[in-house]
């Protein structure tokens, strides 16, 4: 496997050539959203210019072209994830929407009852916390949390002991958006299955960085957002095991998700359409499939190895600075979170912005995790295929300059 050359990729991303405050843009906020290559931008433009139409409902040529493009995208995504069949792929507006769909459908089913337990982890994004809290409050279910060690990894021994016949669902992130911790989701899902519990994996941070094989992971649900993996915002994926999708009630009603409607009764369509009420984000689905094709043409293993080298280099460079704390394990993916004693992360991020650097500051929608470590937030550098060693060195130099100004 040859090393990835990020300089060969950078011309594909038009935004990377712009300046911020008169300085070349160094974009290191990829965990929040990735930039988009021409292939994806052109796919979106081509849809609207060439065959924009509503899908599944028209016999005219444009409707047939749009339907074919939309359903071909579903097949591409199913193949990328190694799903059993395309019908297991539900188009959503993103990870948050997908998790809420599962929570709502489970809440309307007969699978949950008062006294049951749902397990999440202390690393979770609010999107994989709040929907389960709301469900627990409504049904009298207990929410339990897997503890986080000081190195930012999960205490899986305690997790194993938490599982019981009361466990109805385990919902855990594949990779922490805040610390870059890679969780052992194969173990988490297999242990849940042994106790008769369902499993949901939040793949928002893993989809851009790792090869995802759903059959190997063994989860019942897997969710992610397109905009993390070079696709537009407003499109996401909910994978669900087909038998579960057939069993669970749909969370929303409307057009397309029905088989037949009378004023007395409604029968629902088969998956995936049962969960896709209304006109979907057709362009977004096509662009997401294009983004995954783009990733596969580069090679996800090459991307992963390149990003791992960048994170290791960044950790070494930043750890040499006075007063720094790096959060999370030494073996991270996607993101590096850090802070400096006596300096607020927002102040440091603001100065870096003036130098052309885009990094994330704050709690990263992980307030319980920040509280666990006694901090209000961190500065986070997160990486993509187009980032370079030169940018890592520039970040180190910019941090040194900013720290001199703040101390």
Residues labelled catalytic: 365
CB atoms < 10 A from the CB of 333, how many? 24
Beta bridge partners of 29: 382
Ordered DSSP codes for 255-318? SSSEEEE-SS-EEEPPTTGGG--SS--HHHHHHHHHHHHHHHHH-HHHHHHHHHHHHHHHHHHH
Q: Are 92 and 104 contacting, i.e. CB atoms less than 8 angstroms apart? A: no
**Which one, of 405, 402, 388, 403, lies nearest residue 24 by Cα?**
388
Query: What is the C-alpha separation between 77 and 300, in angstroms, rounded?
Result: 14
82's CB contacts (< 8 A; 6+ apart) are: 212, 213, 214, 215, 216
160's CB contacts (< 8 A; 6+ apart) are: 191
Q: How long is the chain?
A: 407
Q: Are 375 and 339 contacting, i.e. CB atoms less than 8 angstroms apart? A: yes
DSSP 100: H
Rounded to 5 degrees, φ, ψ at 201 are: -115, 125
1's CB contacts (< 8 A; 6+ apart) are: 299, 301, 302, 305
Query: What is the C-alpha separation between 186 and 268, in angstroms, rounded?
Result: 33
Burial label for 250, CB within 10 Å (0-12, 13-18, 19+), is buried
CB atoms < 10 A from the CB of 35, how many? 20
> Quick one: the chain helix, strand, coil %, rounded to 5?
45, 20, 35
């Amino acid at each position: 496997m040859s090393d990835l050359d990020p300089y060969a990729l950078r011309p594909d991303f038009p935004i990377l050539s712009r300046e911020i405050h008169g300085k070349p843009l160094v974009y290191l906020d990829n965990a929040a959203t990735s930039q988009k290559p021409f292939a994806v931008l052109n796919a979106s433009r081509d849809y609207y210019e060439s065959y924009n139409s509503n899908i599944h409902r028209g016999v005219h040529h444009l409707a047939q072209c749009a339907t074919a493009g939309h359903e071909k995208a579903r097949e591409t995504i199913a193949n990328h994830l190694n799903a059993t069949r395309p019908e297991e792929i539900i188009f959503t507006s993103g990870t948050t929407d997908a998790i809420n769909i599962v929570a709502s459908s489970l809440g309307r089913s007969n699978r949950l009852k008062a006294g049951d337990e749902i397990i999440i982890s202390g690393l979770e994004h609010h999107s994989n916390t709040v929907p389960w809290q709301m469900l627990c409050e409504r049904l009298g279910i207990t929410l339990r949390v897997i503890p986080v060690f000081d190195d930012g990894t999960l205490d899986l021994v305690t997790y194993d002991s938490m599982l019981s016949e009361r466990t109805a669902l385990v919902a855990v992130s594949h990779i922490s958006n805040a610390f870059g911790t890679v969780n052992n989701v194969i173990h988490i899902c297999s242990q849940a299955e042994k106790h008769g519990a369902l499993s949901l994996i939040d793949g928002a941070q893993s989809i851009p960085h790792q090869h995802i094989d759903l059959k190997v992971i063994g989860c019942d649900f897997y969710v992610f957002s397109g905009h993390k993996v070079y696709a537009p915002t407003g499109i996401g994926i909910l994978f669900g095991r087909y038998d579960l999708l057939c069993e669970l009630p749909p969370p929303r009603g409307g057009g397309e998700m029905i088989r037949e409607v009378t004023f007395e009764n409604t029968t629902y369509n088969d998956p995936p359409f049962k969960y896709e009420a209304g006109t979907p984000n057709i362009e977004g689905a096509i662009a997401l499939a294009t983004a995954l094709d783009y990733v596969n043409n580069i090679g996800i293993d090459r991307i992963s190895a390149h990003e791992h080298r960048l994170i290791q280099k960044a950790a070494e460079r930043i750890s040499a600075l006075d007063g720094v704390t790096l959060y999370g394990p030494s073996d991270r993916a996607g993101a590096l979170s850090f802070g400096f004693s006596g300096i607020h992360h927002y102040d440091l991020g603001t100065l870096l912005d003036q130098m052309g650097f885009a990094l994330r500051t704050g709690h990263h929608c992980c307030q319980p995790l920040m509280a666990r470590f006694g901090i209000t937030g961190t500065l986070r550098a997160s990486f993509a295929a187009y980032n370079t060693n030169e940018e890592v060195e520039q970040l180190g130099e910019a941090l040194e300059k900013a720290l001199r100004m703040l101390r």
